[in-house]
Every structure is written in C-alpha cells, then in structure tokens.
Amino acid sequence: MSHLLICAMDAEAEGFRSMLADRTDEMISGLTFSSGTLCGHPVTVVKCGVGKVNAALCTQTALLRYSPQAVINVGVAGGVGEGIVTGHVVVGEDTVQYDFDLTDLGEADGLVSPCDSALSEDLLAAARSILPQPRVSFG
C-alpha cells in the first residue's frame, strides 16, 4: 500500500520528488502525481496548491486513482505554536476544522478529528531519527 504526500507548494513537493526512486509522473486534472519509492516505501507526491479547497479536490482525485493507505499533508499544514519556525517538523495529534461555527446547533467550536496514532508515532520516530530534537514536535 502506498502513502500520499500532499504539498501545497512546489518547494515542498520538489524536495520529495527529487528523492523518489523509480519515479513516474502522471497528469490528472492539471495536477502532476509523482509515484515511486521513498526509503523503500511506495509513495505518491502531489502539489495541490494553496488552500483547503485545492487540497480537498486534489485529495479526492488521489483517493479515487491511487487508493492510498494514508494521506499526509506536508508543509505549513497549520503547525503553529511558540518556538515553531520554518524547518521544524510538527507531527499532528489531531486536525481541526476551524473556520465554521456549529455552536448554535450544540456542537463544539471547531471540529476536532484525531490523526491515526500509529502513523503519527511512526512519523515522529522517523523525524526524530534524522533531525535534532528541538526541531521535532508532536501536537
């Protein structure tokens, strides 16, 4: 099973594309999907463009075409916090849909969805194995 790496910008996607072994490219709906192996694992990398609408359209296209085991959003991806700067890796514990308000319907403000804990732990261990500790966070 493969993993899908969705990047908003060229600078993010090209770093991964350059490391793909046995790379093949496929154009679908104006998006270039680059597939190959990364550290021995099958991976597809795509640049979706900035914004959640672009990310959603790109993700749906990829799900239909590639059926990835996991979707990983790479890049800024909402990693904010004290001391977090460009070059840091923040592995997500949860995702938050923050830009709508359902409190009038009795729902909490923002929709929080947990990330796959086993995948998050694997990503955290991988990041910590190659980067200095202060640059890797979980949250």
Give the Cα-Cα-Cα angle 100, 30, 50 (nearest 5 degrees). 35
- Over residues 68-93, the pLDDT tens digits come to 999 998 876 555 677 887 778 888 88
Which element (helix H / strand E) includes 34? strand 31-38
- Over residues 57-72, the pLDDT tens digits come to 999 999 999 999 999 9
Region 42-64: what's the mean pLDDT?
93
CA dist 54 → 57, 118, 126 (Å) = 5, 27, 28
User: In percent, how much of the chain has pLDDT > 90?
Assistant: 43
Band (24; pLDDT cuts 50, 70, 90): very high
Rounded Cα distance between 9 and 63, Å, is 20
- Over residues 27-37, the pLDDT tens digits come to 999 999 999 99
